[in-house]
């Protein structure tokens, strides 16, 4: 039996409990609602609900607030917990047992509790996908069943600020009413919805507008001097010394925060790559880049604290200045992020823990910049974050799913990382059968094919060296020009090997039978992802063949069809805003074959 997340203690016994008719399809949803409504009314050891030999009980002897005890025996099923959330999690474990066991539930005893108090997921909704409300509700429901208790939706410009309409005009943003509805939906599922508005770097969508350009560190762009970032043609980072910058933040927070119940706020502040290269150059020369960064961060802290909020921020910049870590506000929550298998979570967690600051570890799904994911990298990255976060006392574990360079990856390719992240957030060091979890819990594939297919598809990146940082060679082939592709030093045999793997996976896809609500859409998304990666293979071979024109014509026809399918896949889960921006990332690809349509 596969359970997600894996319980800390599970004891099986001889015998099974015959499922009453009332449970034949699924446990009654109203029981979940009764759980959340009853906590304030009932005292210790009292029965919350009893229905067809299912008993839910509050028990203060359960040590952890989110822990639960689940017993299936001859007399029926009993779930005990200290809180309503614990009962909710016990019910979801029972659902997973029922889904896999049919009408005969095995006798068992589960004692369970999480390793991390906060088990979160952050979804990028600014580059470039803004999911439909239906997509968000479905994702939240699933994550709640995996015992996730915090959600963040990463925003640069995709909230409908009434005072700043030009910024989001074409983005199909979330409205205040939609955020409040999402907050209500999360509350019913014991999830904290946390506002996540970047307030320092990643402000291009604001700073390219005429009315905000003077707030930019480099209004006309600049050469960052960093080989990973290169030359910025457009402004990216707020000027921390400009008084209008903090005034803009105040305006954003005054509109955004009243739509959330939480008292936690993520202000971002990552990747301020232009800092010191423009408006703040004199200040940086006088006081140092780290000091100028910290002073603006302290201003943001004041804005959060004065409104009664705990401030979260990304750790990448401050960790370059360990001598300044001790000056951070004592209650600011540091988000240590990194997305490679070898990211130094151990040393970074040790630095923040030594300073006595609360912190989260934040790995990623490894799906962005890939189309289909990087399975091995994701699993190692997530495991490392969990291991070292647990060792150094991290308060939270926050999975991230980003949308760099057009957000080409379909949602289905993030499910592996999301599921394993949820598993590690609850049980950091558990031994996991990833494929079995995907088949049994995530996809409910009756043919037991899809779990392995998704796993292997995500590992195709390993078949085509070089293995690149935060991306894959196949993705780079799709978004780079022929000269840059040639510089990858691709091997023809590697490309043919990757194509054989992809062809086999494409042939296996019709044999999958996912029973989840979006199962057919998952198959459509995977078919598109496989076909696009096969196109990448052919494009790589075309470059190795020195770009023969007769192949260019067929590649152009093929990519036009894939672009059309991409738009259909996009709109099946996401709003139209952002789609045209994403399509622009196909421009280099298509223009090398012929006349470009998406410039």
Cβ–Cβ under 8 Å, residues 500 and 463: no
Q: Which of 296, 345, 282 lies closest to 324, judged by CA?
A: 296
Residue 458 has pLDDT above 60, yes or no: yes
Q: Which of 35, 17, 164 lies closest to 76, judged by CA?
A: 17
Proportion of the chain above pLDDT 70, given as a percent: 94
Residue 28 has pLDDT above 90, yes or no: no
Q: For residue 169, give both structure tokens.
A: 């005009």
Residue 330 has pLDDT above 90, yes or no: yes
Q: Give the residue-averaged pLDDT of 477-494.
A: 97
Residue 390 has pLDDT above 60, yes or no: yes
**Chain segment 159-213, per-residue pLDDT in tens:** 999 999 999 999 999 999 999 999 999 999 999 999 999 999 999 999 999 999 9
Indicate the pTM of the whole model. 0.95
Buried/exposed 112-128: b ≥16 CB within 10 Å, e otherwise: bbbbbebbbbbbbbbbb
Q: What is the CA radius of gyration of the chain?
A: 25
Q: Which of 164, 399, 154, 351 lies closest to 270, judged by CA?
A: 154
**Chain segment 213-252, per-residue pLDDT in tens:** 999 999 999 999 988 899 999 999 999 999 999 999 999 9
Query: What pLDDT is stored for residue 227 in this prediction?
Result: 87
Query: What pLDDT is stored for residue 594 in this prediction?
Result: 83
Give the separation between CA 505 and CA 524, rounded to whole angstroms: 13
pLDDT band at 24 (very low <50, low <70, confident <90, very high): very low
Residue 19 has pLDDT above 80, yes or no: no
**Chain segment 349-373, per-residue pLDDT in tens:** 999 999 999 999 999 999 999 999 9
Query: What pLDDT is stored for residue 284 in this prediction?
Result: 98
Q: Which of 403, 510, 529 lies closest to 460, judged by CA?
A: 529
Distance in angstroms between the alpha carbons of the first and the last residue of the chain:
51
Residue 116 has pLDDT above 60, yes or no: yes
Give the separation between CA 426 and CA 6, rounded to whole angstroms: 8
pLDDT band at 4 (very low <50, low <70, confident <90, very high): very high
**Chain segment 56-93, per-residue pLDDT in tens:** 889 999 999 999 999 999 988 999 999 999 999 999 99
Give the chain's count of helices (H) and strands (E).
Answer: 20, 16
Query: What pLDDT is stored for residue 48 in this prediction?
Result: 56
Give the separation between CA 94 and CA 517, rounded to whole angstroms: 20
Residue 41 has pLDDT above 80, yes or no: no
Residue 47 has pLDDT above 90, yes or no: no
pLDDT band at 308 (very low <50, low <70, confident <90, very high): very high
**Chain segment 551-590, per-residue pLDDT in tens:** 999 999 999 999 999 999 999 999 999 999 999 999 989 9
- Please say whether the dihedral angle defined by the alpha carbons of residues 402, 561, 461 and 387, taken in this order, is positive or negative: positive
Q: Give the residue-averaged pLDDT of 393-419.
A: 98
Beta strands in 113-145 (DSSP E): 118-124
Query: What pLDDT is stored for residue 110 in this prediction?
Result: 97
Averaged pLDDT score across all residues of the chain: 93
Query: What pLDDT is stored for residue 32 in this prediction?
Result: 47
Query: What pLDDT is stored for residue 193 in this prediction?
Result: 98
Residue 263 has pLDDT above 70, yes or no: yes
**Chain segment 138-173, per-residue pLDDT in tens:** 999 999 999 999 999 999 999 999 999 999 999 999
């Amino acid at each position: 039996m596969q359970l997600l997340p894996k319980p800390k203690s599970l004891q099986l016994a001889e015998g099974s409990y015959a499922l009453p008719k009332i449970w034949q399809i699924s446990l009654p949803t109203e029981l979940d609602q009764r759980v959340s409504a009853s906590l304030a009314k009932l005292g210790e050891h009292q029965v919350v609900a009893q229905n067809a030999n299912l008993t839910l009980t509050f028990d203060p002897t359960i040590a952890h607030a989110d822990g639960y005890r689940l017993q299936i025996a001859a007399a029926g099923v009993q779930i005990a917990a200290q809180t309503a959330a614990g009962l909710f999690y016990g019910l979801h474990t029972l659902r997973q047992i029922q889904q896999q066991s049919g009408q005969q539930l095995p006798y068992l005893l589960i004692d369970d509790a999480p390793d991390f108090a906060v088990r979160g997921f952050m979804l990028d909704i600014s580059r470039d996908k803004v999911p439909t409300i239906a997509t968000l509700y479905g994702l939240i429901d699933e994550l709640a069943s995996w015992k996730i208790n915090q959600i963040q939706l990463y925003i640069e410009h995709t909230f409908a600020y009434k005072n700043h309409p030009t910024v989001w005009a074409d983005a199909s943003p979330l409205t205040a009413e939609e955020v409040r509805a999402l907050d209500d939906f999360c509350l019913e599922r014991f999830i904290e919805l946390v506002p996540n508005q970047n307030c320092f770097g990643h402000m291009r969508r604001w700073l390219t507008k005429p009315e905000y350009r003077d707030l930019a560190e480099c209004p006309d762009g600049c050469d960052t001097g960093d080989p990973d970032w290169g030359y910025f043609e457009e402004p990216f980072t707020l000027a921390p010394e400009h008084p209008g910058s903090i005034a803009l933040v105040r305006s954003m927070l005054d509109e955004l925060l009243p739509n959330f119940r939480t008292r936690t706020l993520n202000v971002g502040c990552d990747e301020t790559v232009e800092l010191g290269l423009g408006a703040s150059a004199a200040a940086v020369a006088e006081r140092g880049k780290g000091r100028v960064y910290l002073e603006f961060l302290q201003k943001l802290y004041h804005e959060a604290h004065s409104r009664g909020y705990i401030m979260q921020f990304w750790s990448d910049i401050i960790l370059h200045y360990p001598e300044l870590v001790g000056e951070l506000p004592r209650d600011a929550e540091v988000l240590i992020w990194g997305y490679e298998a070898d990211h130094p979570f151990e040393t970074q967690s040790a630095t923040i823990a030594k300073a006595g600051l609360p912190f989260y570890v934040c790995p990623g799904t490894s799906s962005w910049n890939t189309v289909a994911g990087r399975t091995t990298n994701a699993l190692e990255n997530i495991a490392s974050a969990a291991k070292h976060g647990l060792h150094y006392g991290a308060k939270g574990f926050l999975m991230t799913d980003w949308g760099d360079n057009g957000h080409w990856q379909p949602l289905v390719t993030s499910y592996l990382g999301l599921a394993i992240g949820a598993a590690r957030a609850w049980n950091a060091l558990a031994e996991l059968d990833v494929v079995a979890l995907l088949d049994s819990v995530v996809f409910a594939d009756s043919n037991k094919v899809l779990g392995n297919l998704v796993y292997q598809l995500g590992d195709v990146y390993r078949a085509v060296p070089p293995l690149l940082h935060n991306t894959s060679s196949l993705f780079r082939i799709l978004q780079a020009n022929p000269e840059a592709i040639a510089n990858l030093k691709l091997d023809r045999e590697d490309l043919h090997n990757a194509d054989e793997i992809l062809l086999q996976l494409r042939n296996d896809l019709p044999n999958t039978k996912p029973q989840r609500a979006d199962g057919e859409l998952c198959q459509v998304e995977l078919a598109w992802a496989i076909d696009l990666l096969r196109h990448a293979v052919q494009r790589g071979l075309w470059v190795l063949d020195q770009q023969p024109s007769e192949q260019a014509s067929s590649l152009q026809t093929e990519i036009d069809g894939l672009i059309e399918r991409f738009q259909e896949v996009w709109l099946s889960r996401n709003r139209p805003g952002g789609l045209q921006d994403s399509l622009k990332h196909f421009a280099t690809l298509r223009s090398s074959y012929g006349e470009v349509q998406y410039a």
